[in-house]
A and B are shown apart, each in its own frame.
Chain A
């Protein structure tokens, strides 16, 4: 029994690797993500593959990350009336001199980051891949849905996720992580990598928050995320991350928050069938009906399915295929329209731990990340998975085998 408990805890850890923070803290709490119940008890070794079945229940604790008093205060209260126009212009110049054109507008038609790394001095030694290494993930924005076809003429939908201006912010070694989290972390040999996306104006933030970005030297970021990585996959703060961090045909985990539907009734929220529109039904066409039985526990039990807030939950998708990568705009094409959230919402993407993901040799993935400035050949603009139809190819024709 204890081994299966440990196994399920390990699985929680392995699958709950990436957490999105509201404030960027150095080390934050490692909390469970959702109500995962695994039905298979095999493959429970460290860093090994996992067979995993996700179930959804009504008793899901919705809010799992809370702002902590240890986290730095993020936004600065600005009183712009105190500054004259000249002083404001001077401040803008100071910011520009320090960071360059820091503001990244994800809505603009910008190409991916130029393939120039901001790093001048390489301090961290680059690690080598070993079996059971875990490498970092990336932060992206969902930008829409696009149909693709395979070479047999079958149509599928793909969700486009643009990897927007990602830089590594910090690496925290396993010893420090253990010191600050000890009892909550089961695994002792894994470090924490803080990644940020989309640079913004530093004048909006407090000094405390800006200190987080000192180590990497990048402008402050709109969104940050944590990834647990093995020490051989550590990255120097300031390293840019691109869509080419992943390979076409690979399976990934996508973690984000779902579309906010607001307060919804029981039919939409839980899929109840409602009652007939006529035949004597009085005022109960979309209601929930009975809420429980009587007897000893004569009350509405906690977790009963009732109307309430629906959506805006953190959810994880496992084993999603990447079928195409556009390197010019840093866009990943993920098969299916299941990537959660509205157009423009953030998601974090990392390698999948599922046993079926082993079909792609993990050693072929760029480790610890892809460094495009070091590639000898020019990087092609598009990568396609083997069986996916490229629109530049001629139309699909089936051969007559007679």
Chain B
């Protein structure tokens, strides 16, 4: 594992004045990352963490698909390098904003069969999967009384525009339970106006607790450790079911998983490698985000509609 020396970090500091965007940028991540976490820098708390590592740590939330799948069977440096090159090329043509599960997005696709050859969908992001070019995000909305979920490839070339209308996080890593929640939690108007927020504020976490519909459900939500759902497991499970559930959790190691170092190692990319990866791409990402946002603001035109 070759570790590159910190190369571009001081340059990023110098170009702060040139960036004129109100939204999140990679430069902000580099310089203000310590403000988002504790008052004491991570480097001061843990001396083995380098300054570069601390600065690139928040990148894994904003650009999660740049990290490869941790499964050792599928890892290959040359392929990962080629994937990153392709991702940057695609990002130079499409601005992919920072978004999380729980954010509301609007996606415009090129559709051969749609009137005007474009197709727009607005929805709440319920899950985000995959790595590299195969990363997928799913949007959910209620259209004409029917729940609609569309899974988009993040790097699909037919996507013309992705904009984040409301940037926020939720308490769970996926929101599939919205399928069994009342419609109000998944309904968002298609003509929703993007909500502005200032650059230095951390991404808000929506602490909403969804009240699910009465059973039957599409999955056994009461068995999942869902923080964004109103807890009603006592009413659902019999005492003997609760005891069986507790035994199952013990057998699966739910309580001991947090002590399993090898499990954590196998399911994540080590911090040193993450730093290496983001160090390689952060400069290009910073340049892309500034230029593309300018283009996006200029490119607001409406296609003339036939009124007769």
Residues on A lying within 8 angstroms of B by beta carbon are 107-110, 143-144, 146-147, 149, 153, 155, 160, 162, 326, 329, 331, 342-344, 389-400
Contact = CB atoms under 8 A, between A and B. Distances in A.
A109 B74 contact: no
A108 B117 CA distance: 45
A261 B45 CA distance: 47
A400 B79 contact: no
Contacts of B76: 107, 143-144, 343-344
A394 B94 CA distance: 8
B77 A395 contact: no
With a 10 A CB-CB cut-off, give which of B73, B81, B82, B159 has the most chain A CB atoms: B82
Contacts of A390: 89
At the interface, is chain A mostly helix, strand, loop or mixed? loop
Nearest to A389: B157
B117 A399 contact: yes
A146 B83 contact: yes
Given A153-B110, A342-B73, 6 more contacts: A155-B156, A391-B89, A395-B93, A396-B157, A397-B110, A397-B117
Contact of A162 (B78, B83, B116, B158): B78
Contacts of B127: none
Given A147-B134, A153-B158, A398 B110 contact: yes
Contacts of B2: 109
B112 interface: yes
Q: Which 9 A-B pairs rank lowest in CB-CB distance, beginning with the nearest?
A: A144-B79, A391-B89, A109-B77, A153-B158, A143-B76, A391-B90, A143-B79, A398-B117, A392-B89
Nearest to A110: B78
Nearest to A105: B77
Interface of B: 2, 73-79, 81-83, 86, 89-90, 92-94, 110-112, 116-117, 132-134, 153, 155-160
B159 A395 contact: yes
B148 to A, nearest CB: 21
A395 B157 contact: yes
A392 B85 CA distance: 10
Contact of A331 (B78, B111, B133, B159): B78
A13 B93 CA distance: 49
Nearest to B93: A394
Contacts of B93: 391-395
Given A329-B82, A391-B89, A343 B74 contact: yes
With a 10 A CB-CB cut-off, give which of B78, B134, B159 has the most chain A CB atoms: B78
A84 B76 CA distance: 36
B117 A160 contact: no
With a 10 A CB-CB cut-off, give which of A107, A331, A344, A395 has the most chain B CB atoms: A395
A146 B79 CA distance: 8
Given A160-B82, A391-B89, A397-B110, A149 B77 contact: no
Contact of A147 (B75, B79, B89, B133): B133
Nearest to B116: A400
B158 A144 contact: no
Contact of A329 (B78, B112, B132, B157): B78
Nearest to A141: B76
Contacts of B155: 147, 391
B134 A108 contact: no
B95 to A, nearest CB: 11
Given A149-B157, A397-B110, A391 B86 contact: yes
Contact of A153 (B73, B92, B157): B157
A16 B158 CA distance: 42
B295 to A, nearest CB: 11
Contacts of B110: 153, 395-398
